[in-house]
Amino acid sequence: MNHRTLGRTGIQVSPLCLGTMMLGAWGNTDHDECERIVGTALDAGVNFIDTADVYAFGESETIVGRAVKGRRDEVVLATKFHNAMDDSPNRRGNSRRWIMRAVEDSLRRLDTDWIDLYQVHRPDPRTDIDETLGALSDLVRQGKVRAIGTSSFPAEELVEAQWVAERRNRERFSTEQPSYSILARHAEAAVLPVAERYDLGVMVWSPLNGGWLTGKYRRDAPLPTGSRASRNGDHFDFKAEEIRSRKLDVTERLAVLADEAGITMIQLALGFVLSHRAVTSAVIGPRTLEQLTSQLGADEVRLSPDVLDAIDELVPPGTSISPADVGYAPPAVTEAALRRR
């Protein structure tokens, strides 16, 4: 597996990054199989693993820590903080108080002395970005964190963070992790160009759009047993008929396109996101070993200009079929009080 440089860090990572949200109570509760998934990915040349404290509320980090034990030096290990870990108002967000506690919790669960990439899972409008960068800079200087990054940050907040880091002598964010897939191309409009301008490594999440781009969902067919949509239909657009119908139309045409190109739908989807010049890695999130093996090797697929042009006709660049796929809506949009005098 060829490696790519993660932004300006100098760290070499595989084009496929193993996402672990499905390891544990949110997906696969068999810890032994979960550890086999991690081991199989490492044996196949994947050296990049992404998790988060909130995934099954720490269970995923614990599984990953056990799975990489004895192989820690060969793994580029990334985790995230921000989301609420319980009902306490101070065990969440991007404050110094929480960051300093959250990192120690993650280090303990991961059973490691350092985190290669520590990411802010979402923006926190209540916390000054300088407060967040100051705490993260201290962690880098302490050796607990090697590099810092963001996830689902709007382009303007990425620019602001770079500005603050430069003028206040803070560590700069080195990566961004946006949602990006054939069905969700919003990042192309601003986030990916900004990432390229500031030499940020980009690891895209949900490149298969929650399973839509595997070809498993069919019109007038029951939801596959165990699929994400069967477990959480509201989250995966199955309650929004217009969006569901549009995604079915597009995926049916993508299946034909993949067949004509002699590749699988999964290879088409992963090959698409990895073809973007700003993208470093695609985060794959298998729940089973079978799902993992169906995705391994997709980084070797090279889509022709004709195939990419055909995708552009189905879903225009910079657009998304479902607004929910963006991953973050600012409070100015979601909270009515911020729009009232």
Per-residue pLDDT of the chain in tens (341 residues, 90 and over written 9): 689 999 999 999 999 999 999 999 999 999 999 999 999 999 999 999 999 999 999 999 999 999 999 999 999 999 999 999 999 999 999 999 999 999 999 999 999 999 999 999 999 999 999 999 999 999 999 999 999 999 999 999 999 999 999 999 999 999 999 999 999 999 999 999 999 999 999 999 999 999 999 988 887 666 666 666 655 665 556 567 899 999 999 999 999 999 999 999 999 999 999 999 999 999 999 999 999 999 999 999 999 999 999 999 999 999 999 999 999 999 989 999 988 98
Separation between Cα atoms, residue 248 and residue 245, nearest integer Å: 5
Q: What's this model's pTM, rounded to 2 decimal places?
A: 0.94
Separation between Cα atoms, residue 56 and residue 25, nearest integer Å: 6
DSSP structure class, residue 240: -
**In a 3-state reduction of DSSP, which class is residue 119?**
strand
List, in order of start, the domains of the chain with CATH numbers.
4-210+273-302 (3.20.20.100)
| Matching residue, tokens 């900004």 | 194
Is 328 a catalytic site residue? no
Show Cβ contacts of residue 99 under 8 Å, excluding neighbours closer than 6 positions. 81, 132, 135, 136, 139
> What element of type H or E holds 139?
helix 129-142
Going from the C-alpha of 265 to that of each of 131, 201, 212, 215, 260, the distances in angstroms are 43, 26, 10, 6, 11
Question: Hey, what are 238's tokens?
Answer: 């199955």
- Answer yes or no: are the C-beta atoms of 282 and 203 closer than 8 Å: yes
pLDDT at position 241 is 86
Crossing angle for the helix pair 31-43 and 59-67, to the nearest 10 degrees: 50
pLDDT at position 221 is 63
pLDDT at position 78 is 98
**In a 3-state reduction of DSSP, which class is residue 136?**
helix
Region of 206 please: left (phi>0), alpha (psi -120 to 50) or beta. Answer: left
Closest CA to 283 of 341, 173, 207: 207
Going from the C-alpha of 40 to that of each of 29, 45, 68, 291, the distances in angstroms are 18, 9, 11, 12
Crossing angle for the helix pair 305-314 and 241-261, to the nearest 10 degrees: 160
**In a 3-state reduction of DSSP, which class is residue 273?**
helix
pLDDT at position 341 is 85
